[in-house]
Chains A and B, each alone.
Chain A
Amino acid sequence: MTALRLSGIGHAYLGRTVLDRVDLAVGAGEIVALVGPSGCGKSTLIHVAAGIVQPLRGRVEIGYARHGMVFQEPRLMPWATARENIAYPLRLARIARKDRRARAEAIAQHVSLEPEDLDKFPIELSGGMRQRVAIARALASRPDFVYFDEPFTALDVALKRRLQDLVISAAQEARFGALFVTHDLFEAVRVAHRIAVMEAHGQGLVGERVIDGIPGCRADRTVFETVAGYLAEDRLFRHVNDIDERRPP
């Protein structure tokens, strides 16, 4: 069964084409990592899939019931406590205040947020904690699909690893599918079942690789060797680390 199917997606900002003829399908319960060099249109594609951006061309077919999303920045409401932020999707779904509280607290425990943190405002939390709140918010409405838009790029290595583990275990437990945008191949190989690689200028996908084993059960050594193998021998990943920082985003 397909949870998400993108066909022939094309988009342009002010006449500048950023995406063209992108086709991608994600199965139910499958985690697909979408990699590509900076500025290749990964973020635009995930925004299109999540319904934030209306594509100029193409079709988005949705086979899941509900989705959540984690952004690169936490995007928390600064005036609301961590608890209210986590419960925001439930508020949008018009769930009663008392149930919202209970569910937000349950999911917070899941992502290792202490009860006393829940009464704090985002500004009182560290960067890692804020991103934990953002993950809890994405999972609060018990989605069967989650979009991750480079969620851990701004975090340090140790924190990144812990939050990746958090996502992997949450995905296994809640059995949600996910589209995980990243430009970090290690991250992609750790969390995903399959890696899709985008063309450097958003002209569709250039290919994909299914990663051996299942996320969370791969030894670090295997992850390193897989990534090293991709970068050294696989033509598909040749352009992934190419960055032209002078190009406008």
Chain B
Amino acid sequence: MKKNNSIPFVALDKQWQQEKSQLIKIIEKSISRGMWVGGRDVKEFENNIKKTINTKYVVALNSGTDALTLGLKLLNVKRDSEVITVPNSFIASTGAIVHVGAKPIFVDVLPDQSMDYRQIEKKISPLTKAIMPVHLTGSINNMDKIVKISKKYKIPIIEDSAQAIGSKFNNKYAGTFGEIGCFSAHPLKNLNAIGDSGFLVTNNKYIYQKAKLFSNHGMTDRNHTKFFGYNSRMDTLQASILNFRLKNLKKLILQRRHNAELYMKLLDRKNVFFDNERFNQYNTYHLFVIQVKKRDQLKKYLEKNGVNTKIHYPVPIHLQEASIFLNYKKGDFPETEKQSKTILSLPIHQFLKKSDIFKICNLINSFFKKGIN
């Protein structure tokens, strides 16, 4: 039920109201060119991303999932290869690994939800073909440690940066540490289109050239196919919308960071765990996640009081029905499993008012103080 003073988890309607007058013109202009696949807007988008996150090459694609799938293919991950990743991500990261025929090898996560890099080395085997850290919630992994392992064993990194555009580690952008970085511009992401879309970035020219062909059936031109690829192209229309929204990305991230700061100031740390940003991190807060006891009761209590929250994600990947063939069991990744019962995502979008955050924090603090159930 929607109450008048309820606080929604996302606010796409407000985003549209804010941008409407400009966006309609942009959409009309893009459509009137009669060029709906590829073309100028897509090229412009790729160039814009290059500048935004400081990378040499960008290929616009149909989704973040496709970026991961293509990325793995480009790293020559195939049947019987192994890829090391985390079980607390959205399903797409593991899905991409399974779809190229490889086996996902999970490592548990740290209290801040990032990959436990200390566990990577013992999972490496002769079959390991890639390491896939996931910058979940916009919080970046400890890339120093992961890059070190990658160099030592000569195993490439493919970064799942779907939730982390603009995030930085030691002032270097998410997606630019590994061989390939994969991004999503799904409607719910910080940089969002109005349909599925995504892109991959790389500094490797050979990978870039191959990725370009891969995304368009392997065709070098209308009549020649060099190898079998995919159909994974960013819609021209979506590119034109993203070009417009990119101009506002920095500001939007700052607003989200302000919101996070306020949360961290107001929430009572006795009962609420959240991770502070480290000195070498710059996080973009696609999500703001707290970890609490009595999570389900708190969620209900907030819902009753008009605050919409979410859980990302309540069932870890290794315990999903789709993962049965991997033969994992409960207890294999204790930290991930523990977090799946304690994590709660609070509204963090750029249209939140200060008073909204005050209200949410008051509710949470008093929930624990009074022992409300």
Chains A and B are bound partners: no
A-to-B contact residues, CB < 8 Å: none
